[in-house]
Structure 1
């Protein structure tokens, strides 16, 4: 389920079945012209990826709005903010919290995250609507889908 009025109404009525939350982590910055277009492209790819993943796992997953942060921000500060997010949702019946990102900087602090990091190798260029890009995204969705299902089996 996505963060949309009608889907949240469904969630409220079926929350005992929705035990997993996915939080996309998206960096943002305007200070570096050389990386702006790459960052924007990765944002598009991650949004497409998480939407497809949510569709595959409909009924057990809630996809939150993206968590935006400055790329140059101190990750320890951002972990504190993420803990506030997860503390806020802790009164809901979520047993699994997954963070999705292309930003490899999160790998260095993943053990401090209040959930499981799903770091995806960065796709830095291409056309989001191309058949090749859709194939790559589909492949990643299938792999992450299988991984999340292993957490459910525990």
Structure 2
């Protein structure tokens, strides 16, 4: 289920079955011209990953809105905010929380996060519309889905 009106209406009817949230963690930094395209591309790829994960696990997970943050911000403040998101989400019957990201700096804060961090190396560039890219994304999504299922 996605964070859209029709899915949320359906969620309210079946919330006892939806026990997992997935939160994409997406950095941005407008002040660094050299990183703009790379950051935008990684956001696109992470959005694709998130949508494919949600599609594979429909009926069991809620894909939350992406958590956007400044790339150079201190992770302590961000972890505090993220944990507030999780605290609010746990008012519903959500048991599992997964954060997905290409940003390896989250690994240092992983222990303080109220959920499981799924970090994977980012794809630096490419064309999202090629057959090779779609195959690679599907293969990685299958691995992530298996990992999430192992927590259930």
* TM interval, short-chain normalised: over 0.9
Deviation per CA, 1:29-50, whole angstroms, max 9, x where unpaired? 1010001100000000000000
1:43 aligned residue: 43
Structure 1 residue 9 displacement after superposition: 0.4
**Secondary structure in structure 2 of the residue aligned to 1:77:** helix
Structure 1 residue 57 displacement after superposition: 0.3
RMSD, matched Cα: 0.6
Structure 1 residue 66 displacement after superposition: 0.2
2:115 aligned residue: 115
Provide the rounded CA distance (Å) in 2 between the counterparts of 1:43 and 1:133.
15
Provide the rounded CA distance (Å) in 2 between the counterparts of 1:108 and 1:139.
27
The yes-or-no answer on 1:91 pairing with 2:88 is no
**What are the residue-to-residue correspondences of 1:52-91 with 2, within 5 Å?**
52-91=52-91
Deviation per CA, 1:49-70, whole angstroms, max 9, x where unpaired? 0000000000100001100000
Structure 2 unaligned residues grouped into runs of 5+: none
**Secondary structure in structure 2 of the residue aligned to 1:17:** coil
Moved over 4 A (4+): none
Structure 1 unaligned residues grouped into runs of 5+: none
Provide the rounded CA distance (Å) in 1 between the counterparts of 2:86 and 2:108.
20
1:106 aligned residue: 106
Provide the rounded CA distance (Å) in 1 between the counterparts of 2:114 and 2:131.
36
Deviation per CA, 1:83-134, whole angstroms, max 9, x where unpaired? 1111111110011000000000001111111100010111010001111111
